[in-house]
Amino acid sequence: MNETLTELCAGLRESFPEHVGEPVVEFGETSVRVARERVLDVCRWLRDNGPFELLADLSGVDYLGIAPDEDRFMVAYHLYSFRRNERLRLRAFVPDGDERIESVATVWPSANWMEREVYDFFGIVFEGHPDLRRILMPDDWDGYPQRKDYPLGGTKVEFKGVMVPPPNVRRQPSSTTTGYPGRIS
């Protein structure tokens, strides 16, 4: 991680000492963990001081079963700064059963549809979002398809007299999961 990002992350930690973790550099990318209660303020600080003008991506991940000492859902914010030509990832964890987080649509309007998509697929409610409703699934759809406990939903297909089930329930070659290195940072 180069100096500008190091300085920036240090400044960020000073402004939000209990809510922002140590920056982690992995595969050449910098990630910072943010507590979900202060996500809006942290994003506003980053947009103004980074300046991280572009929210490139807002995505959700469901860690059901592989990171037992972490909250189940993670919302990742990928930021880009034109002036510094730097990228930064923010990670905010959201627990199962209390899937709420503040919306950053007031900071970056591009978050509007991105948060609707995460709501549609994971069921995470973004508080303060101007128009939170489903975006890709039909409006009356039941369930949140991208969650790990939502089935793939395929139908059995007949091949030469044998009914082959969809890929998620077929016999799989055995593999051991090494477990996600859930860094508490």
Site residues (CB under 8 A) for another protein? 26-29, 31, 53-57, 59-62, 66, 76, 78, 82, 85, 87, 89, 108-110, 112-114, 117, 134-138, 141, 145-146, 150-155, 157, 166-168, 173, 175, 177-181
Q: Least separation, in Å, of the C-beta of 17 and another protein?
A: 25
Q: Which is nearer to another protein, 14 or 140 (CB)?
A: 140
Rounded to 5 degrees, what are φ and ψ at 16? -130, 70
Among the listed residues 167, 170, 175, the one whose alpha carbon sits nearest the alpha carbon of residue 66: 175
- 43: three-class secondary structure by DSSP: helix
DSSP 104-139: -TTT-TTHHHHHHHHHHHH--EEET-TT---SSS-T
Q: Which is nearer to another protein, 14 or 36 (CB)?
A: 36
Q: Least separation, in Å, of the C-beta of 102 and another protein?
A: 18
Q: Least separation, in Å, of the C-beta of 138 and another protein?
A: 5
Cα dist. 174→146, 156, 170, 171 in Å?
23, 22, 12, 9
Q: Least separation, in Å, of the C-beta of 50 and another protein?
A: 13
